[in-house]
Chains A and B, each alone.
Chain A
Amino acid sequence: MNPKIRFRGISHKFDLAGAEFAALDNVSLDIADGEFVTVVGPSGCGKSTLMNVASGLLDPDEGEVLVDGEAVSGPSPQRGVIFQQYALFPWMSVRKNVEFGLKIAGVGKVERRAKAQYFIDIVGLTAFADALPKTLSGGMKQRCAIARAYAVDPTILLMDEPFGALDALTRVQLQDRLLDTWSQEKRTVMFITHDVDEAVYLANRVIVMAARPGRIHQIIEVDLPYPRTEEIRLSDEFAALRRQVWNSVYHQPAPLERTSS
């Protein structure tokens, strides 16, 4: 089967205080249709850069991203993005936020409303549909952002540390809810995180990245069944995988480049 997303030889450099910084160095990766892939790595490993390239918000220096075999150029509603900072439009209610993308796509009022309502219900914000973002908690804001991304019916969801700013309890609840939503509405998901637990719990496959230059260090298959439950989270198999990913993230060989210039 052809991969849903194919990164081919992606390299990208940033200028940091005059020095060049290789955020990504020749990264290639295939993600299958319907797969849930998490990307972990130390800071500076280029995981967010990789996602910005996938979303089309960043044009890489070298290489290309193919989605369904077609090269990505610029953002598209086909690839939904969920940002760590929620990025809800603060002057719009939850409902208006969720309808935003549908409105741009020219979906009629009645259908728009019904579709938005469907996803608002799925993420459990039914009672808050007409609330302004400022009245919501962080977890609710992120659920609204997830509904907004889902509403335009993307085939791919790109999530950039979406639960990074939330407390541990809310985070676990949202992980379960995300998997729930994902099992009801199957999409290809690429999920960036710095949390090893989260990476293992959610994924079919964990991509471990290394820094300086940003590259793929190791790919670890997570051979655990869905739906993921508390039982799985506390199982020995989970612990073993978690240890494997942990070692891969925290005990990487020294950077290839010298840090001083």
Chain B
Amino acid sequence: MAATKKVRSTWPLTVGSGLLGLLVWVILSNSGIQGFPGPLAVAERAVESIGNGVLFSDLLASLTRVFSGFALGVTLAVPVGFLMGWYRPIRGLIEPWLQFFRMVPPLAIIPLAIVLMGIGETPKIFVIFLASFLSAVVSTFQGVIAVDSTLINAARVLGAKDRTVFTGVVVPASAPFILVGMRIGLGASWATVVAAELIAAQGGLGYRMQAAQLYYDLPTIFVQLIVIGLVGLAMDRTLQYAELRLTNWQERR
């Protein structure tokens, strides 16, 4: 493609937008809302909780939960998605349940999970597993369905048997869908872990917020919120980058 239009860098706007937000924050904190902390108070609290290691251990607890649940979810979702896309009867059996559970917010499963699995790590990881599984499985099987049948025919006439058609054509052709599903799944997992920790946990970013709420400790809540946002953003960008690198062969508009 001979796109000669020069793409203007947007980072000055990004920086400006950040500074503007900071300004609004300062104004808000000086406007007399009871207990609303300014950037300085929040920064102080951040330094303090980094210094005593609390922030790090909370972050570690949350991330461990997310990655265990996410890894389990994706590991199961990819083969199930392939089976659903490749074999029509399997799709028919699984899809109604999938569509049903997709409509139930993972958090709504927490009360049940706590009753059945206790208040340890298991119910939280289970809920995250569910959140990532559901989003990854749907996109995987849609990826398999979307594989161009001409490509499959092209492989067949070159002598490919079912196994080669699957590994050589279906898997790479549906990779972009799988990666998008993983990205959505990771986002959903991150949102779910924080909320799950708000309900019942002995550590983690969500738990820390919940505890701070009891003491009216707004700076701590702000620190947690900012960390949650930044970590989520970092995870999303990492997967987006991987996606761009791995599916660089796609024709993009």
Contact = CB atoms under 8 A, between A and B. Distances in A.
Interface residues on A, range: 20 to 34
Interface stretch (A27-35, A99-107, A243-251): A99-107
B249 A83 contact: no
Contact of A132 (B151, B168, B172, B249): B249
B251 A90 contact: yes
Interface residues of B, number: 22
Contacts of B157: 55-57, 75-77, 79-81
Contacts of A101: 158-159
Interface string B162-198: 0010001100110100000000000000000000000
A152 B251 contact: no
Given A85-B150, A104-B164, A91 B156 contact: no
A127 to B, nearest CB: 18
A100 B153 contact: no
B154 interface: yes
A148 interface: yes
Q: Of A87, A105, A132, A148, which is in contact with the most chain B CB atoms at under 10 Å from its CB?
A: A87
Given A91-B172, A100-B158, A152-B158, A134 B153 contact: no
A198 to B, nearest CB: 21
Label chain B's interface by main secondary structure.
helix
Q: Of B159, B172, B247, B248, which is in contact with the most chain A CB atoms at under 10 Å from its CB?
A: B159
B158 A134 contact: no
Contacts of B175: 91
B154 A83 contact: yes
Nearest to A152: B158
A104 B156 contact: no
A21 interface: no
A79 B151 CA distance: 16
Given A91-B172, A91-B249, A104-B164, A76 B153 contact: no
Interface in A48-83: 55-57, 75-77, 79-81, 83
Interface in A100-121: 100-101, 104-105
Given A77-B159, A91-B172, A148-B158, A83 B153 contact: yes
Contacts, number: 66
A11 to B, nearest CB: 22
Contact of B155 (A55, A79, A100): A100
A100 B168 contact: yes
A90 B175 CA distance: 12
B250 A134 contact: yes
B201 interface: no
B100 to A, nearest CB: 33
A87 B159 contact: no
Contacts of A89: 151, 154-155, 168-169, 172
Interface in B121-175: 148, 150-151, 153-160, 164, 168-169, 172-173, 175
Interface in B203-253: 247-251
Contacts of A133: 249
A77 B158 contact: yes
A232 to B, nearest CB: 32
A152 B150 CA distance: 18
Contacts of B153: 57, 75, 81, 83, 87
The 9 closest A-B CB pairs, nearest first, are A101-B158, A87-B154, A77-B159, A91-B249, A81-B157, A87-B150, A75-B157, A134-B251, A75-B156
26 contacts: A55-B157, A57-B153, A57-B156, A75-B157, A77-B158, A77-B159, A79-B157, A80-B157, A80-B158, A81-B157, A89-B151, A89-B154, A89-B155, A89-B168, A89-B172, A100-B155, A101-B158, A101-B159, A104-B158, A104-B159, A104-B160, A132-B249, A133-B249, A134-B249, A134-B251, A152-B159
